[in-house]
Amino acid sequence: MSFIYKLKKDEPFRTLCLTILSGIFLLISFFGWVKLPFDIAWFAIVISGVPIVYSAIKGLVTKFDITTDVLVAIALIAAVVIKEYFAAGEVAFIMQLGKVLEDITAGRTRRNLQSLINMAPQMASIRTENGEKEIPASEVKIGDVILIRPGGSVPVDGKIVRGNTSIDQSVMTGESVPIDKKEGDIVYQGTFNQQGAIDIEATHSGDDSSLKKMIKLVEEAEKNKAPIVRIADKWAKILVPVALGSSILIGLLTKDIYRAVTALVVFCPCSLVLATPTAIMAAIGNATKKGILIKSGAAIETTAKVNAFVMDKTGTLTYGKLAVEDIYILDKNIEHKNFLSITASAEKFSEHPLAKAILRYAKDSGIVAKDPESFEIKIGKGVSATVAGQKILIGEKIIGENLIKKTPDVSSLIEQKEKQGKTVLPVAIDGKVAGIITVADKIRKEASETVKNLKKLGIPHIIMLTGDNEVVANSIGASAEVTEVLASRLPQDKVNSVKNLKDKGYVVGMVGDGVNDAPALATSSVSIAMGAIGSDVAIEAADIALMGDDIGKLPFLVRICRKAKNRIIFNIVISMVINFGAIILAGFGLLNPVTAALVHNFGSVFVVLSSVMLLTYKEKAKV
């Protein structure tokens, strides 16, 4: 019963079964194993050929659409007319076999995503006033608190509200190492809890989850391959009259209808139909396993031609999160831990990103910030607070130039650190500069290596584009080893910078976070969003989405796109060489309809197998 149901509902499975059946009938016909009043190849003609002829007639009648099916149908009918039933069945069989191989390629492309869908839990254990309650994951509401035990998978996107753990999110981002997560961190549907029990608060549910967004993106990639498939049909508008003309000419010159039909059979564009879509889907499938989601074949083609990358600084070349870099104690009477405790307590009520960086550092160092007795923010200057009876001032402007100059070497130290692109926060305790804290957005550890690898791939221009001032931008740019730094750029300035590069003839790849960079991303030749997992804006704005924050995947992205483009060209060349070579042989009578079908349709299988190899392409250790 299940087999019959699958046969009815699953079109690729039905096509596979009918194609196998058609092939069996052709084998019986070829070897003459069964004697019937008619050629048993007729079964193959009916099973595999009728759908092709029907599709061709439907397209011509309803839209006058000359597709590849038209040429195949003409060849099939011509072979039947001259009673070359095996050749007719073989043309239909190989055309359907090509479709089966394409389905297999596309199926392998989606297999990684499908396994993720299958592994996502169907049930969730939510916390209630009466204890734990098991409910379907689809019924979880935003704000529900869910218990996730060690070894369990995450049923919905959420924020950890209790506990620490390591999460295996390789199926979403391609990261091979589990990521440590603590309270306040985000976890995603379909990922796996490796260690401790945690409670998460649902932040997204239903179709808004990160998993559903991934599914949507892959579906978009499927839809967006349609224009590429239509390239073959555009060729068909040329090939149909050329094939018919060649066939008629060969028939007139040789007076041999068999040679004319052979020309029609050999000109069937099966391999051309399969050349592009199979390569595109194989490349998309390989990239998906790496956590790189490509929306379309056009994005692959453009990425393969990129000769200039423009990268945003914050969140792309850097982590996009301010962190304490250095702490210098200038008052020898104050211990490091005490200095950090006083500073963190003074900043406790501040919402400024610099203050939050200090508080995070203090918390990670095991220091609990106390409530200050008094607290005041001086906008644009700094913080004034009282902690344990001591008057605390944080910030160069609020402390004042005179007080800073009274402390030896403070001015030169501040200047030195600012040249390194760091924000310097001098801390004064009871009228004396006691120390200095520097805060900076850290450069990603893989940024420099990524830029080097892109240069080795022959991309000479790697440009950092940022709204930050030149001092900070130049420091980060030097560390990342980019070729050019464009600082102090407003959103419109970023757009103009990308336009200028395109006007100079560059194919520009823009890499950003998909939020602040949306206008520049939209202007670029191909746009790549960093850390798109969980981000609607990033997915909508970009042609390609890196689901994790690993910029190190860019060189692999460029290589797989180049491989795909070269494979498409190779496939098309092979298919055309086979077609034109075989038609010459047909003209000289060196091929008959049966051998012509074998030679030509070997090209179709070869093209598909050539594309499938892209699925197994792996990143090299060195570029």
Question: Given its phi and psi angles, is residue 437 left (phi above 0), alpha (psi -120 to 50 degrees) or beta?
Answer: beta
Q: Are the beta carbons of 44 and 19 closer than 8 angstroms?
A: no
Q: Are the beta carbons of 248 and 521 closer than 8 angstroms?
A: no
Q: Are the beta carbons of 21 and 51 closer than 8 angstroms?
A: no
Residue 522 CA to residue 162 CA, distance in Å, equals 40
Structure tokens at 487: 């600082």
Residue 225 CA to residue 245 CA, distance in Å, equals 31
Q: Are the beta carbons of 39 and 29 closer than 8 angstroms?
A: yes
Strands 508-512 and 308-312: parallel
Q: How many CA atoms lie within 13 A of 123 on its CB side?
A: 7
Q: Are the beta carbons of 519 and 313 closer than 8 angstroms?
A: no
* Whole-number Cα distances in Å, 496 to 265, 520, 524, 537: 54, 8, 10, 21
SS3 at position 163 = coil
Residue 598 CA to residue 602 CA, distance in Å, equals 6
Check the CA dihedral 452-456-458-460 and report its sign.
positive
- Within 10 A of 132 (CB to CB), how many other CB atoms are there? 10
* Strands annotated E in 379-460: 382-387, 390-394, 423-429, 432-443
Q: Are the beta carbons of 486 and 463 closer than 8 angstroms?
A: yes
Catalytic residues: 312
Residues in Cβ contact with 409 at an 8 Å cutoff, skipping those fewer than 6 apart: none
Structure tokens at 80: 């039947």
Q: Are the beta carbons of 312 and 513 closer than 8 angstroms?
A: yes
Instruction: Note the Cα 438 to chain centre separation in Å.
Output: 36
Residue 65 CA to residue 569 CA, distance in Å, equals 26
